[in-house]
Structure 1
Amino acid sequence: MARDLSLRKLRYFLAVAKCGRVTQAAIDLNVSQSSITTGVKEIEEQAGVALFQRTSRGMLLTREGTRFLQRVNYAFQALDDAFDSLQDTHTRLEGNLCLAMTYTVAGYFFPPLLAQFQRRYPGVKLHLSEASRPEIEQGLKSGEFDLAIVLTSNIEHHHWLEKMTLTKSRRRLWVASHHELLNKGKLTLKDIAHYPYIMLTVDEADQTALKYWKPEGVSPDVMFRTSSVEAVRSMVANGTGITILSDMVYRPWSLDGKRIEHIELSNAIPSMEIGLSWPKNRPLTPSAKAFCNLAEALIK
């Protein structure tokens, strides 16, 4: 059966899936809220399933919506590839690029960007490294790395480093689908301080968390520390504890199929910022510059 799924409607769906709110999606795309609502509703009617669960906290992807999101992302990737295939000048760039990244970047941000770069610049040989922020900064200083993709919000007091923030991912409270906090209305860090907390430690997440807990005069009741995002996800989904993490690593389902909800807190919790970094005193190589330009065009 033919489906009139225009690119415009699909972009509306992507925008809502990304931010979780029709109002914000309308602002991001500079269209009316009614256009967003109508477009998403028409897709759902044509698909015959609900892609979002409408709640007081916003639009949450259903299981079918999560699967559809993956397919739509593939479709837009294929469209980008089609345009890239027409631009033969991209294939002329040759050279090497030593690129470093942190754990979170490698798992949740980098793969689509890498695939796009490889297709656009097949003549560039990539040397990829995953490392901690201090190791990456040392590698940039010594010349081991040409460029790095890092959590730019974690870079502090390094006057010799350039940084280009590409995107920001807000942090929200994660709870199990049956958790009592879902019925509490507006919440602050003080309201959740006595609940068992699952603390992620990778990419300095624990140190970052304490920076926004401390000014409130409270601290989380940490029952478990782990470097595994999937461990955090599963423990939260099963009701063992709660956590605060960024939307970038949020998924509504744990590996064992249990639902995770996220809640906006009233406190001013800083977003996680992701971007590029390189030494100020060393010009970017042509390959590194091409990567920066591509990343900025695709993500900003």
Structure 2
Amino acid sequence: MENCVAISLRQIRYFVATAEQGQITQAASALSISQSAITTSIKELEETVGAELFSRSPQGMELTPIGRQFLFHAYDILNKVEEATSLRVPAGDVEGSLTLAATYTVIGYFLPNHLERLKRNYPRLNIQLFELTREAIEEGLLSNRYDIAVLLTSNVQNPDLTMETLIGSRRRLWVPSKHRLLQQEAVSLKDVAAEPYIMLTVDEAAHTSLKYWSKTAFQPHVVLRTSSVEAVRSMVANGQGVAILSDMVLRPWSLEGRRIETIVLSDPVPAMDIGLAWRRNIEFTPAMEVFRSYFRQAFYIPTLR
């Protein structure tokens, strides 16, 4: 019998909230609805898709491989709906230039899709993009060399800059397929400390990592430091170590076609926050306003005046 059940926007929003929060209780709280409403909605969605989107455990709701694929499409659907219904984004005939600074991770894993959409919606907006370190971006914003930046806001502490976080990308433990830690009910940083660790160094990843490690009695057993996300991915997939990285850079397959699995740690690990930054009290140009408004719409950030 043909399945004629349609997927609703409500189901997609409940699914995304659960994926982002990692627990039904937290998703229900964030959406101000009952837990049973989310549970029922996700069950209906899984029946329609024909596959489990989450694996359930005492630690919460973990996306399955199919669930991660579905999340990518869910974000795209919600963004398209927002584009179609929004009336607050400035008109597409805005003309001007924007000097935009961004860090390595942002350019590689976050910006390309948004830049393409901005170019399509605002063909007369000329964006000049520069890849820089966080320190160089801060100095460039303060000296008016760059208009605005997209970077890891969780790393910025300069009081002369205004920041607006768009999204928090959860950090999880990466392990190779069939790793022994996948069989444990709970995995802590103490467990990770017993494993060979691949330390990513780009965009201050090592510094951020050591900040949350320093709050424990343990330290990672680092066997390699590298600025290459692909190197981390391949080494983990090939069983040469584990790593803790954000979902933004997660791709479940290495270049060799080997599988990476992820684990939510029982110890607190901060998310990687991505957002905008600009010099405090600067007067926004029409091009800057268009850029900020686009991201506020894309990530449902309320306009504060």
> Is the partner of 1:34 in helix, strand or coil?
helix
Q: Tell me which residue corresponds to 2:51.
A: 49
State the 1:219 CA deviation. 2.2
Equivalent-residue separation in structure 2 for 1:121 and 1:204 (angstroms): 33
Q: CA deviation at 1:221?
A: 0.9
Asked if 2 retains the 8 angstrom alpha-carbon contact of 1:253 and 1:260, the reply is no
1:114 aligned residue: 115
Shift of 1:8: 0.8
**Aligned residue pair count:** 297
CA separation in 2, counterparts of 1:247 and 1:71? 15
CA contact (8 A) 2:102 2:132 kept: yes
1:199 offset after TM fit, Å?
Answer: 0.4
CA distance in 2, matches of 1:55, 1:257: 25
Partner SS, residue 270 of structure 1 = coil
Aligned in 2, Cα 1:47/1:55: closer, same or farther, shift over 3 Å?
same
Map 1:195-210 → 2, pairs under 5 A: 195-210=195-210
Indicate the residue corresponding to 1:136 in structure 2.
Answer: 137
TM-superposed CA distance for 1:211, in Å, is: 1.9
Query: Which segment is superposed worse, 250-259 or 188-197?
Result: 250-259
Q: Please report the TM-score for the alignment, with normalisation by the length of structure 2.
A: 0.85
Q: Are 2:209 and 1:230 equivalent residues in the alignment?
A: no
Q: Retained in 1: the 8 A contact 2:151–2:274?
A: yes
C-alpha distance in 1 between matches for 2:156 and 2:238: 34
Query: Match for residue 272 of structure 2?
Result: 272
User: Distance between the aligned counterparts of 1:77 and 1:298, measured in 2?
Assistant: 6
Q: Which residue among 14, 22, 25 is the counterpart of 2:24?
A: 22
Describe the shift of the 1:71–1:257 C-alpha distance in structure 2 as closer, same or farther (beyond 3 A).
Answer: farther
Q: Distance in 1 between matches of 2:88 and 2:185?
A: 52
1:1-20 matches, within 5 Å, as 2-20=4-22
Q: List per-residue Cα deviations over 1:193-242 (Å, max 9, x = no partner).
A: 23100101110101111222234343211111222223222322332211
Segment of structure 1 superposing worse, 125-134 or 54-63: 54-63
Q: Which runs of 5+ in 2 are unaligned?
A: none
Which residue does 1:216 correspond to in 2?
Answer: 216
Structure 1 letter corresponding to 2:166: L
Amino acid at match of 1:176: P
Q: Is the 8 A contact 1:251 1:260 kept in 2?
A: no
How far did 1:184 drift?
4.0
1:76 to partner: Cα distance:
3.1
Query: d(CA) in 1 for partners of 2:184 and 2:297?
Result: 41
Query: Does 128-137 or 112-121 show the bigger shift?
Result: 112-121
Cα separation, 2, equivalents of 1:202 and 1:179: 26
Indicate how the Cα distance of structure 1 residues 135 and 13 shifts in structure 2: closer, same or farther if over 3 A, else same: same
Q: Does the 8 Å contact 2:89/2:297 carry over to 1?
A: no
The Cα RMSD (Å) is: 2.6
CA distance in 2, matches of 1:139, 1:49: 48
Shift of 1:257: 4.2
Q: Using the TM superposition, give the Cα deviation of residue 125 of structure 1 relative to its aligned residue in structure 2, in angstroms.
A: 1.1
Amino acid across the alignment from 1:63: P
Q: Secondary structure at the match of 2:222?
A: strand
Which of the pair is proportionally richer in helix? 1
Structure 1 CA distance, aligned partners of 2:84 and 2:296?
Answer: 20
Question: What CA distance in whole angstroms lies between the structure 2 residues aligned with 1:250 and 1:280?
Answer: 33
Q: Deviations over 1:81-127 (max 9, x none)?
A: 4336x889612321111111111112232234334433443321111
Structure 1 unaligned regions, length at least 5: none
CA distance in 2, matches of 1:270, 1:62: 22
SS in structure 2 of the partner of residue 90 of structure 1? coil
TM-score calculated relative to the size of structure 1? 0.87
Aligned partner of 1:98 in structure 2 is 99
Whole-Å Cα distance in 1 between the matches of residues 106 and 137 of structure 2? 13
